Structure formats: structure tokens, C-alpha cells
Amino acid sequence: MTKRAAKKKVTKPRVERTRNSGKWTEARFKSFIVGVLRAAMRKWGAFHDAKKAAEKGTRVDKATGRKRKMYECAGCTNLFKNDEVHVDHIEPVFDPHKRIPAIQTNWTEVVNRMFCEVDNLQVLCHTCHGIKTENERKQRYVKKQDDFDEHIGCFSYPFCEEAPRGCVVLYGVNAEQYGHRD
């Protein structure tokens, strides 16, 4: 019978817990604050104005038999029920150019970007929102600044150039209201 060599357990150095009476790390604190701000965002008037602008009438819900408001997705232009859409920031709240630790977060900038006006908000279905969010997440981890793509905020990324009238980066407020339409 052979003896197995005991594996040495590799432990990561413990992260300093400086928040909430020594219970939270800076990252946990940042996560908490962002969650509270997101909840407050749902009460922001521009949030509701963006949703109202995307409203395209009502349809009878087959499951319940009741009329439901339908909203047009800015990405795919299909119609969806209220619980199938997200109000999303066109310009990300956390700038993908800056990968900064929680302790260095400029909360005034975060609040100003989060509580923006309706021209920086769009309604996206779950699928389009997931694609846009994943693209933004990928850009946060770009190693070189030269590899950063400023069009990441477009839900049609990476096909902005194919329908540039809708590209918010190129045309800002003059872009089509619901973005790219091919």
C-alpha cells in the first residue's frame, strides 16, 4: 500500500474587512451600495418615461386571458411583456475603460450616471440585455487600451458600422430612437 502525499492546502490571503464593523470587504460594500442604488433607480422618473416611450399597446396574455402592455425592445424591435424587458443604460454606469477597485470608486460619478435622463435609457428584452451586458463585461477585461471598442454600448455591437444611423456612439441624440434597424 502506498501512502499518498498530503496535499498542501493553498489558501488565499484574507482580504481586509474594513466595512460594516469589520464584517464586509470593500468589494462586498460596493456590491451592497450598487444594489441599493439599482432599487432606487426603479423609482426614478426617467426610468418610467423610457418604459412608457417603448410601450406599443396591449395584447391579451394567452396564459391569463388578461390584457397586458407590450414594450418594443430597442435591440431586436420585437414586442415583449413587462416582465420580459429591462430598462438599460445606453452608456454603462461603470465605465468599461476603468477597471478600478471598489475603494477607489467615485460614487458621485456612479450616482450621476445611474440617475440619468431618458435619452441615456433604452428598453431591452432579456436576450438583448444579456448580449449587451456580456459585451460590456468583456470590454472591462481588455488588457490593452488600443483593443477597447467604444461601440460596446450599442446593442448591435459588433455590427455598428453596418447600420450607423442607429449607433449612439457616432450620432448621440441624433441616432434613431430604437437604434440599429437593418
pLDDT (tens digit, 9 = 90+) per residue, 58-111? Answer: 999 888 899 999 999 998 899 999 999 999 999 888 776 666 655 567 888 889
Distance from C-alpha of 69 to C-alpha of 55, rounded to nearest angstrom: 7
Distance from C-alpha of 71 to C-alpha of 79, rounded to nearest angstrom: 5
Q: Say what the pLDDT of residue 181 is.
A: 41
Q: Where are the domains of the chain?
A: 26-174
Q: Say what the pLDDT of residue 138 is.
A: 79
- Residue written as cell 394567452? 62
Whether the bond between 164 and the residue before it is cis, its omega within 30 degrees of 0, is: no
Angle formed by the axes of helices 107-114 and 26-41, nearest 10°: 30
Distance from C-alpha of 97 to C-alpha of 139, rounded to nearest angstrom: 8
Phi, psi of 169 (to 5 degrees): -65, -45
Q: Say what the pLDDT of residue 176 is.
A: 53
Burial 130-140 (b: 16+ CB within 10 A, else e): ebbeebbeebe
pLDDT averaged over every residue in the chain: 79
Tell me the CB-side half-sphere exposure of residue 93, using CA atoms within 13 A.
Answer: 20
